[in-house]
């Protein structure tokens, strides 16, 4: 079976830069899969998507979408893909229906097929009632739904979604996730870039974590968290002594044997990634905090999340 996306040893070096933005990246996405591409800022995700969507010329490597080589035949590649950017780029002079039909016409979809598709997509994305209204009053959620519906008008094999639910409320997010799953059920392959690790773990069949232009891990979300087996987490909520600061507490907790990493969750709580069982850490942690005159008000242990995997692999320094 032809892979929906095939990236082999991709290298991209921007002009006048002394290092590669993408540095020998390889991955494959199967047809009908939702693949999440994750990574810290500057890791090389946008550059990779730019190459896949023919916007950026690669320096070296072999990149194919739906079997088409993006360098050899970018026009054919563009016919097989659709991109939904993070920023709304709808035509506000047009109605939602016109946004869809004009897009399809631009892509050479015959009128009969356009008319067949438009009604179904407006209904699927919950936009049928406003199909002929002015776009001006569209909410962020509606605009995002319309952009995905529009992207589907030329029936792409692969859909690229950049941060699809950033800024949406929980209802809008769930609605969108459901629609994206429906597209997958119809055989559309989805490549998702996101900083929302919950979105990645809920939505993606597989996740690739990129750092410094390389793939540092690739598996199902469950497989990635299993990889941190034995590394449970302990969330500690406390009242600090007057004059004490969370940064100092975090540094101190980092020194406790069995604590792999400590990171502040907010001004009163810290998450500890553990290499030992949580029960064995409660005593030392409470004692250390008591020594700083801090009072522990809540303790919660749990399994690692995709966020823990992400931080474990990419470190916690700011990029
Ligand atoms: N047009 C450009 N010219 C020069 N360097 C660039 C250009 N675009 C990106 N870079 C650099 O390439 C590297 C990868 O950037 P890229 O935007 O692909 O990362 P990213 O993972 O998408 O980051 P983010 O999550 O912040 O969007 C960064 O070091 C960035 O500064």
Residues 6+ apart with CB under 8 A from 154: 79, 82, 103, 104, 107, 108, 109
Q: Do domains 5-226 and 233-303 have the same CATH topology?
A: no
Superfamily of segment(s) 5-226: P-loop containing nucleotide triphosphate hydrolases (3.40.50.300)
**CA distances (Å), origin 140, targets 90, 145, 165, 221:** 12, 9, 9, 28
∠ CA 170-205-226, rounded to 5°: 100
Question: Which ligand 1 atom lies nearest to the CA of residue 40?
Answer: 25
Atom 29 of ligand 1 has which residue's CA nearest to it?
A: 42
Site to substitute for ligand 1 among 19, 40, 47, 210, most atoms within 8 A of C-beta: 47
> Considering only CA atoms, which of 22, 74, 76, 70 is closest in space to residue 44?
22
* 44 within ligand 1 shell (Cβ under 6 A): yes
> Considering only CA atoms, which of 151, 219, 152 is closest in space to residue 186?
152
* 87 within ligand 1 shell (Cβ under 6 A): no
* 41 within ligand 1 shell (Cβ under 6 A): yes
Instruction: Name the class of domain 233-303.
Output: alpha beta
Predicted ipTM > 0.95: yes
Which of helix, strand or coil describes residue 1? coil
- The structural domains of the chain, with segments of one domain joined by +, span 5-226, 233-303
* 248 within ligand 1 shell (Cβ under 6 A): no
Q: What is the pLDDT along the chain (319 residues), one digit of tens a residue?
A: 799 999 999 999 999 999 999 999 999 999 999 999 999 999 999 999 999 999 999 999 999 999 999 999 999 999 999 999 988 889 888 999 999 999 999 999 999 999 999 999 999 999 999 899 887 777 888 899 999 999 999 999 999 999 898 888 899 899 989 999 999 999 999 999 998 888 999 999 999 999 999 999 999 998 888 777 667 889 999 999 999 999 999 999 999 999 988 989 998 999 998 888 888 999 999 999 999 999 999 999 888 888 888 888 888 676 6
- Which runs of consecutive H residues, i.e. helices, occur in 264-305? 278-291
**CA distances (Å), origin 200, targets 26, 37, 47, 79, 177:** 19, 8, 19, 27, 11
């Amino acid at each position: 079976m032809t892979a929906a996306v095939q990236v082999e040893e991709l290298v991209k070096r921007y002009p006048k830069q002394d290092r590669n933005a993408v540095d020998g990246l390889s991955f494959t996405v199967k047809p009908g899969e939702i693949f999440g591409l994750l990574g810290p800022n500057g890791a090389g995700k946008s550059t990779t998507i730019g190459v896949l969507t023919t916007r950026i010329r690669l320096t070296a490597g072999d990149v194919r979408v739906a079997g088409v080589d993006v360098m050899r035949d970018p026009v054919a590649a563009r016919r097989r893909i659709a991109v939904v950017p993070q920023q709304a780029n709808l035509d506000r002079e047009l109605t939602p229906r016109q946004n869809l039909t004009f897009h399809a016409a631009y892509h050479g979809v015959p009128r009969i097929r356009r008319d067949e598709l438009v009604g179904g997509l407006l209904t699927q994305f919950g936009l049928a009632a406003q199909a002929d209204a002015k776009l001006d009053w569209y909410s962020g959620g509606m605009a995002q739904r319309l952009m995905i519906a529009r992207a589907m008008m030329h029936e792409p094999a692969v859909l690229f979604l950049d941060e699809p639910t950033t800024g949406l409320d929980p209802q809008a997010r769930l609605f969108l996730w459901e629609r994206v799953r429906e597209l997958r059920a119809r055989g559309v392959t989805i490549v998702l870039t996101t900083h929302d690790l919950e979105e990645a773990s809920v939505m993606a069949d597989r996740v690739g974590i990129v750092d410094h232009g390389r793939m540092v891990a690739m598996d199902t979300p469950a497989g990635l968290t299993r990889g941190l087996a034995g590394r449970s987490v302990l969330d500690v909520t406390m009242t600090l002594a007057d004059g004490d600061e969370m940064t100092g507490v975090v540094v101190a907790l980092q020194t406790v044997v069995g604590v792999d990493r400590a990171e502040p969750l907010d001004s009163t709580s810290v998450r500890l990634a553990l290499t030992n069982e949580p029960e064995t850490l409660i005593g030392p942690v409470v004692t250390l905090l008591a020594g700083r005159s801090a009072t522990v008000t809540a303790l919660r242990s749990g399994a690692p999340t995709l966020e823990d995997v992400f931080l474990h692999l990419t470190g916690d320094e700011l990029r």
